[in-house]
Every structure is written in C-alpha cells, then in structure tokens.
Amino acid sequence: MTKKIEKKADVIVIGAGPAGLTTSIYLGRDKFSNFILTGDVGGQTAVSGEIENFPGYVSIPGLELIQKMKTQAEKWGSEVISTEPVKKVEKVDENTFHVEAEDGHLYEAKAVIITSGKKYRKLGIPGEEELTGKGVSFCATCDGPLFRDKEIALIGGGNSAVKAMVQLATMVKKIHSININPELTGEAVLLDKINSLKNIESHPNSDTMKILGDTLVEGLVIKNKDSENEITLDVAGVFVEIGSVPNTDYLQNVCNLNERGEIEVDKTNMTSQEGLFAAGDVTDVLAKQTIIACGEGAKAAIHTANYLRNKS
Ligand SMILES: Cc1cc2nc3c(=O)[nH]c(=O)nc-3n(C[C@H](O)[C@H](O)[C@H](O)COP(=O)(O)OP(=O)(O)OC[C@H]3O[C@@H](n4cnc5c(N)ncnc54)[C@H](O)[C@@H]3O)c2cc1C
C-alpha cells in the first residue's frame, strides 16, 4: 500500500538552526513554498549562551537571536514542524523527493535542503551514559545554573570549552578544567577572560577515566598523561565540551560525505545528488559559526530557487 503524504511543498528544509531558518526566509521571500522539519528550534545557537560576534548586535542571547529568525521565517510563510528526527531522504523520480521522519510520517518536495547541523561528541567512558542528566551535561547554558556554588569539571580544550568555562565561572564555586592537551585554544578575547578568572584549576595533559556516582555524579577520575598518576576530583557536575559530529547518519548512500561524515557541497551548496542541497555545520564548510550558517543557508536557498526555476 502506498503511504499517505502528510504535506507537500516546493522545498523541504531539514533542521531549524540558523542555517535552516535563514534558508526558509529566503525561499519564502522568493515565493517558493517550504516547510521545516526539525527536532528542535535553534539547534546549537539556542544553547550558545551570549553571542558577541553576530553583526548588528554587540551581544545577544543565542535563543533570542533564534526567536527573531523564526518570527522572520514565519512572516514569509514558513511553517516549522517539530518532528521525530528525519530518518530517510529519497529521490523517487527526476522532480520528486520523499522525506520520512522516525514517526513514519512522509513528506514530499521538488528539492530538499539539509541543515541538520551537529551534535555533541561523547567521551565514551564508564559513568557517562548512566549519569547523563544526573550531573553529566553537554550544555553549559542549559545546565550551568543547576550547579550554582558547587564544584564541577569541564572537559575539553577548544573554543567551545573555553566559552563554556567563561559562562560557568560566573555561576559555580570552582571549575576543574580537564584538557588532554598542554594548553587551551580559542578566541583571544575568551582566553583573556579565562586568565582573569580566579575559580579555575587547570589539569592539563590529562585523560578522563571514569565518572563516579550512583544516582548523581559524585566524582571524576582523571589521569595525568606524563606521571600516569590518577586522582579523583570531588565534583557534582561534569560538563563535556570535546567537539561535535555532524548529524548525517540518515544520509549514508544518499549523497557524498567526507571522512568526518560532513556533506560535501559545491559552490552552489548542491550535494552529489541533483536537487539535494545542504548548508551550515552539517557540510564540509571549514568554519562553523552562526553567521556562517546563516550565510550558507542564504546561498543554498538562492541556488535551490535557481535550480527549480531552470527545471520549470
Ligand atoms: C556551546 C556553543 C557555543 C557557541 N557559540 C557560538 C558563538 O558565540 N558565535 C557563533 O557564531 N557560533 C557559536 N557556536 C556555533 C554555532 O552555534 C553553530 O555554528 C550554528 O548553530 C550552526 O548552525 P546550523 O543551522 O548549521 O546547525 P545547528 O545549529 O546544529 O542546527 C541543526 C538543526 O537540525 C535539527 N536536526 C538535526 N538532526 C535532525 C534530523 N535527523 N531530523 C530533523 N532535524 C534534525 C536540530 O534539531 C537543529 O534544529 C557555538 C556552538 C556551541 C555548541
């Protein structure tokens, strides 16, 4: 039996982060019908805390920026449909794509733009899975206030970790900064802030071994890579900020992915599959930032519109 199509449009956008919302604004203004299928509204930008590098705003909470983008997309006729994650994208004929969500709902469009971004990378150590949401967190903005006046560990040494540290330092009693490398790396302005903070204890060259606790986090075992000494830190929270992986599991054998699992796109944001476009952090674009996701989303919409006009 053929499955019922829930909804049809010229274009389906997958993901409602800054890339997807910008894409939808551009498509709507160009009078291409579209809707967004998404797990959440805002993606990583919604949990980015204060954003200080989006032109036009000296500083704005990520969530507020996203709400403005969503309002603008809806003004131009977009509908944001919260759904179970998309599990399948299929080109069924020359002019038609089918997109299926995990709840089994099926959607149809003439072109698809993927903006499904990235998700947090996990440590893969004992205690992490069991204690996620019970003291183990992947989001400083969301969970930082739960650890007011407590000691926490923050694992990671790159820009996301540094940004999270600046945020958390104002809330928690003390941060143990666990870095596998000798030095933190990140934007100079953030590193300057870190140097001025008094409640951070650094544990460089350290591996994270085990998170302790039964119903809640009670400690973290780390091991110095030089001395091989293991110590247990008495912390109530463990924040993991060790990078991210693209949300492309559902695109195996649909379009070309690079060795990091990112979607390969050409200058027009087209993937290796004609009519299937992609933008933002999910692609092989080298820099991953909110402003870049917006710019790439705009490009993808413009080229998708050109593609559809040339087809008709
Ligand atoms: C902690 C942190 C701080 C940051 N700080 C800054 C900053 O200060 N300045 C800056 O410019 N950038 C910052 N960034 C980076 C910025 O947030 C990202 O570059 C940007 O959000 C990428 O946008 P995107 O739309 O490509 O993807 P995302 O924001 O990742 O959005 C992806 C969307 O796709 C949806 N999705 C995923 N999989 C599926 C699926 N299978 N089906 C349906 N929907 C799906 C998600 O629910 C989400 O809505 C930060 C990131 C983090 C994590």
| pLDDT score, position 109 | 98
Residues 276, 248, single domain; the answer is yes
| pLDDT score, position 26 | 98
Distance of CA 147 to the CA centre of its chain: 23
Q: What is the mean pLDDT of the chain?
A: 95
Q: Is the pLDDT of residue 86 over 90?
A: yes
Give residue 124's identity as a one-letter amino acid code.
G
Q: Are 103 and 83 in contact (CB under 8 A)?
A: yes
- Domain for residue 130, yes or no? no
**93 is annotated as an active-site residue:** no
Closest residue to atom 26 of ligand 1, CA basis: 280
Mean pLDDT computed over 249-267: 96
| pLDDT score, position 83 | 87
In angstroms and rounded to an integer, the radius of gyration of the C-alpha atoms of the chain is 21
Q: How far is 98 from 248, CA to CA, in rounded Å?
A: 17
Nearest ligand 1 atom to alpha carbon 18: 25
Q: Are 275 and 91 in contact (CB under 8 A)?
A: yes
**139 is annotated as an active-site residue:** yes
| pLDDT score, position 49 | 82
Q: Report the pocket of ligand 1 as residue ranges, CB < 6 Å.
A: 14-20, 37-40, 43-45, 48, 51, 53, 85-86, 115-118, 160, 163-164, 247, 250, 280-282, 288-291, 293
Residues 88, 155, single domain; the answer is no
**143 is annotated as an active-site residue:** yes
In the chain, the percentage of residues whose pLDDT exceeds 70 is 100
Domain containing 42: what range? 5-119+244-311
CA angle at residue 29 from 25 to 35, to 5 degrees? 50
Q: Is the pLDDT of residue 2 over 80?
A: no
Distance of CA 304 to the CA centre of its chain: 23
- Domain for residue 126, yes or no? no
Kindly provide the residue ranges of all beta strands, DSSP E only, lying in 83-203, ordered along the sequence: 86-93, 96-101, 106-114, 118-120, 136-137, 151-155, 174-178, 200-203
| pLDDT score, position 210 | 97
| pLDDT score, position 48 | 81
pLDDT digits over 108-119, tens only? 999 999 999 999
Active-site hit among 10, 30, 143, 281: 143
Mean pLDDT computed over 215-219: 97
| pLDDT score, position 1 | 62
Query: What's the pLDDT band for 211 if we cut at 50, 70, 90?
Result: very high
> Of 219, 240, 261, which residue sits at a domain end?
240
- Domain for residue 175, yes or no? yes
Mean pLDDT computed over 240-251: 95
Nearest ligand 1 atom to alpha carbon 83: 43
Nearest ligand 1 atom to alpha carbon 290: 11
- Domain for residue 125, yes or no? no
Residues 249, 225, single domain; the answer is no
pLDDT digits over 142-200, tens only? 889 999 999 999 999 999 899 999 999 999 999 999 999 999 999 999 999 999 999 99
